[in-house]
Structure 1
Amino acid sequence: MLSRNYHKADETSYVYCDFKQYAGVSTCENLTSNYYITIYGYYLLGNSTRFQYCPDVYTCHHLVERDGITESGFYEVGIPGNLSKVYCNLFMGAAVTEIWHNSTVEKQVSKCSPAGCYSHRPQYNVAMDTIVQIMDHSKQCRQYIKYRCNGSLLFESLYNGYWLSRDGEKMLYWGGASSKRSGYCACGETGKCENALKKCNCDKNGPPMTQDEGYLTDKLKLPVSEMRFGDTDDSSEFGYHTLGKLQCTGSGINNASCAPIRGHR
C-alpha cells in the first residue's frame, strides 16, 4: 500500500509530496545528510513555498530544477553508487536528456534476401535499467529512425524491415506513424507516399532512391534495441539506416501536482 505522501499525478503515475517545511535546509544534499532522506519526490526546503525534487535525479529537467544548471554538457544522473552520464541539451530553454549510442551515423545494409536477414544492435552509453528510469521520470521521449532505400521493401508483403522494442518485441510500424498501425510509415498516415497505393515510400520497390523517417514516441517500447532489414540481395537494391539519440523532456512526476493537494490537507 502506498503511504499517505503518495498522490495520484495522472491515470498511471503517482507523485511523492512531503509537506513538512525543512527549515534551515537549502539544498537536496543538505536534506539528505541532515534528515537521511532516501525517497525521491518533492520537498519544501528552507522557507520556500515551491516544491523541489530530491534527492535522486534522473533527468536534465530535474537537474535544472535542483541544481540550476545552465550549460549543455554531460552530467551524472541516478542514485549514489550507480550514477550514469547523460548529455543535457539546454537549447532555447528546454532541458533535453539525451542518451547516446554508437549508431547515430548512417550505415549501409549488407546484401541479403530474406525478411529481417540483416541485423544491427545499437550500443547505448547508459544501462537499460537506468534508461527506463529516465523515461519514467520524463513527460515524453522520442527517437528518430530512418530507412533510405532503392528497391528494398520495408513493410510490403513480408515485413522485410522492422525494429525491436527494448524488450525484444517486433514492432511493425515506422517513425512518424503516430497511430502505430502495422505496416504504416508517416506518409501512409498523411496519404502523401510517393506511390499513393502504398503506406511507405520504400514500398514502391524501385528507383529513384527514397526514404521513410520520423520519430518513435512510445515510452513503453523505447529505446530501439535492434533494427532488421532485408531485400537487398540484387545489385540494384540498397538500404541505409539511421537511428537517432533517445531524447526525453519534461517531468513524469509533476511538481505542480503537490500544490493543489497541499491546499486541501
Structure 2
Amino acid sequence: MIAISTVNVRFVVLLLLSWSSISSADATLNLEDQLRTLTQNYMQFKESVETNFEAKFHQVEDKNRQLEEKVIRLESKVQRLELVIALRENTVASKRVDPLTGRSSIPRTCREARLADPSLNSGMHWIDPDGQGVGDDPIYVHCDMTTDTTSVPHDSEGPMDVGHCADPGCYSKAVTYNASLRQMAALADLSGECHQSIKYDCFFAPFELDGIAFSWWNDKDGSAKFFWAGANTDVHTCQCGIDGNCVESFMKCNCDSAAPEQLVDSGVINDKEILPITRLNFGRTGQEYSSGVHTLGRFECTGQVAVTGMPTSCEDLWRIGHTLSGFYSVKGLKMVESVYCDFSKLPNEAGFQKWIGYDDVKSAPVYFYVQRNSAFNTTNVPIPFQISRLNIGNAMNLSTGKFTAPVQGTYFFSFTGHAQFPTSSSILTLGVGLYLNGNFIGWGVVEEYNTVNLQETPLTLQSTLNLQKGDEIWLQITLISDGVILFDNNDNWTHFTGYILEEELIF
C-alpha cells in the first residue's frame, strides 16, 4: 500500500509539470497521451509490486511450513530417544540395589508396585520377583491394580487347534512365557495364591480311553499331570468330575464321553507348587470328524504370604524384601538364632540358608552375689543375707532372701556355707534346701559322726533351672541337729550366687 501511494503522488506531480510546460493548443492531446502512459506505467508498477509481495508471502509460508515439519521430525526423534532412555533406565533400575536396605529398586510384584505408587494404572509393568541384582532379568507382566493380580503372558493364550493325530501326546506344544521359570517360582513363593486356567473344546477327542492317557500337561519341573482342575493329584479328573456333573456321570471329564456332540472341559489349576504349565500334549484326534482346541490362560498370582512377628528364617526375610546376602538374627523356638542367608538363591534352592548358632541375647542383665556375716539356724524360712557384692537387675532381695526371675529363661544358682558342730554327739546333720515357689528342688547336706571337738564343715549346692517370669527362688535350712548352725563369724563364709544363662523369647 505504501508503494502504490507513492506512485499516485508522483503521477500528480508529473501531471502538474506537464500542464505548466505545454501550450494550450497541444494541452489536451499531450495530456491524454501522458495520462495514458502514466496510467499504464502505474498499472505495471502496481502489478509488479503485488506480484513481488505475493511471491515473498509464499516464500515466508514455505519457510514456515518447512520449519514446522522440521520441528515435528525433531519431536518424533525426541520421543524415540525418550523411549530408548526409558527402556535403558528400566534395565539399569532392575539391576540397582539400595545399599542401605539391600532391596532392588524395582518392585517384585504388582502389589508392591501399587503400594509404592498408588497412582499406577493397570497395564504392562516391569517387576523383578527374585529381587536380586545378580538374579534373572526383570520381567514384563500385566498388572491389574484393582485386584493386585500379576499375570505372566505367554505364546499359547489364544485357541489352538491340535489337528489330526492318533497316538497319545502326538500333538505337543511347549509354552513360552514372558519370564523365566526361576522368576515365576519366585513370584509364586511371594504370592498368597497362584493359578492358571485351561480349556479344551473337543469332539470325539478323549483325554483318556480304556485306561490309556492320550492327553496330559507338564508342570514346571516337566512332570506329566493328568488332572485338569484343582490342586495336584495323581487322579485323572476335570472340573465336572470334581463337581459331579459330567455329561456321563461315570466319567471324570466331559471330553472322555463318547457322545456325538461338541463338548468342553474347563478348569483352573491352583497348586502354585507345580505351576506354571510348561507343555500341552493331546492325542486321539486321528479321525476326520475328531477335533480338539486348547486355550491356556496366563500364569496369575495374587496376594502375599504374610510374615507376622519376628522373622524366623531367611525365607521370612526374603519375603519381606531383604535381598542383601549376609548374616542375620532370626527368632528360634526359644532363643535368637544366627543364620547366613544367600539371597542370590531362591528359598527352595540348596544353600539358601545356613544355620550358624545361637545369639546371646538378653533383654536385661541379671546376676547377683550375696553373703552372710553372721550365723543362722532358723529352719523352714528363707535365709536372708546382709552383704551384696553384686545385684545387677535387682532381682535378689537380701532382706527376704528371695530371688525373683525378671524374665523367662534358664538360670544357674550356687550356694556355699559352713556347718558348725560344737557338741559331742554320734551323728550331727545340717541340710540347706533350694526352693522354687515353695516347692523343694534339692539340698546340700553335711553330717559328722562321733564329733568330740568344735568342727566346721563346708556344704555346697548348685542347680540349673528353667524359670518363668515371676518365679521365686530361695534357700532354707530343712534339716538340723541340736547344736548345729550355719556358721559365719563376719568372715563371709556363706555365699549365694545366681545369673541368667539363656533368655527365652516370648512373643
Task: Settle same-fold status: TM greater than 0.5.
Answer: yes
Pick one of 266, 280, 301 that aligns with 1:213: 266
Corresponding residue for 1:140? 193
Higher relative contact order (CA 8 A, sep 6+): 1
Corresponding residue for 1:71? 121
Letter of the structure 1 residue corresponding to residue 153 of structure 2: W
Q: In the alignment, is residue 89 of structure 1 matched against residue 144 of structure 2?
A: yes
Pick one of 143, 155, 166 that aligns with 2:220: 166
Is the alpha carbon distance of 1:69 and 1:139 closer, same or farther for their aligned partners in structure 2, counting shifts above 3 Å?
Answer: farther
Pick one of 289, 296, 304 that aligns with 1:243: 296
Counterpart Cα distance in 1 of 2:309 and 2:106 = 18
Matches within 5 A, 1:172-187: 172-175=226-229, 177-178=230-231, 180-187=233-240
Stretches of structure 2 that go unaligned for 5 or more consecutive residues are 1-96, 312-330, 332-505
Is the alpha carbon distance of 1:197 and 1:183 closer, same or farther for their aligned partners in structure 2, counting shifts above 3 Å?
Answer: same
Counterpart Cα distance in 1 of 2:232 and 2:238 = 10
Corresponding residue for 2:277? 224
Residues 212-249 of structure 1 show CA distances to partners (whole Å, capped at 9, x for unaligned) of 11110111110000000000001111111010011100
Letter of the structure 2 residue corresponding to residue 174 of structure 1: W
Counterpart Cα distance in 1 of 2:192 and 2:179 = 19
Matches within 5 A, 1:1-265: 33=98, 36-38=100-102, 57-78=107-128, 79=131, 80=133, 82-91=137-146, 94-156=147-209, 157-175=211-229, 177-178=230-231, 180-252=233-305, 254=306, 256-257=308-309
Greater Cα offset, 147-156 or 220-229: 147-156
Letter of the structure 1 residue corresponding to residue 109 of structure 2: T
Letter of the structure 1 residue corresponding to residue 122 of structure 2: S
- Post-superposition shift, 1:183? 1.3
- Post-superposition shift, 1:256? 4.7
Q: Is the 8 A contact 2:162 2:291 kept in 1?
A: yes
How many aligned residue pairs are there? 213
SS at match of 2:202: strand
- Post-superposition shift, 1:257? 4.6
- Post-superposition shift, 1:68? 2.7
TM-score, normalised to structure 2, is 0.40
SS at match of 2:140: strand
Q: Is the 8 A contact 1:202 1:210 kept in 2?
A: yes
Q: Is the 8 A contact 1:105 1:242 kept in 2?
A: yes
Stretches of structure 1 that go unaligned for 5 or more consecutive residues are 1-31, 41-53
Counterpart Cα distance in 2 of 1:153 and 1:237 = 10
Is the alpha carbon distance of 1:257 and 1:209 closer, same or farther for their aligned partners in structure 2, counting shifts above 3 Å?
Answer: farther
Corresponding residue for 2:396? none
SS at match of 2:304: coil
SS at match of 1:64: helix
Residues 70-123 of structure 1 show CA distances to partners (whole Å, capped at 9, x for unaligned) of 4101222114473222111123xx110000001110000121111111101111
Q: Is the 8 A contact 1:62 1:251 kept in 2?
A: no
- Post-superposition shift, 1:55? 5.7
Larger Rg: 2
SS at match of 2:194: strand
SS at match of 2:300: strand
The share of aligned pairs that are identical, in percent, is 27
Letter of the structure 2 residue corresponding to residue 74 of structure 1: M
Greater Cα offset, 71-80 or 190-199: 71-80
SS at match of 1:136: helix
Counterpart Cα distance in 2 of 1:196 and 1:181 = 20
CA RMSD in angstroms, aligned pairs only: 2.3
Flag the structure with higher helix content. 2
- Post-superposition shift, 1:180? 2.9
TM-score, normalised to structure 1, is 0.74
Counterpart Cα distance in 2 of 1:58 and 1:225 = 22
Letter of the structure 2 residue corresponding to residue 172 of structure 1: F
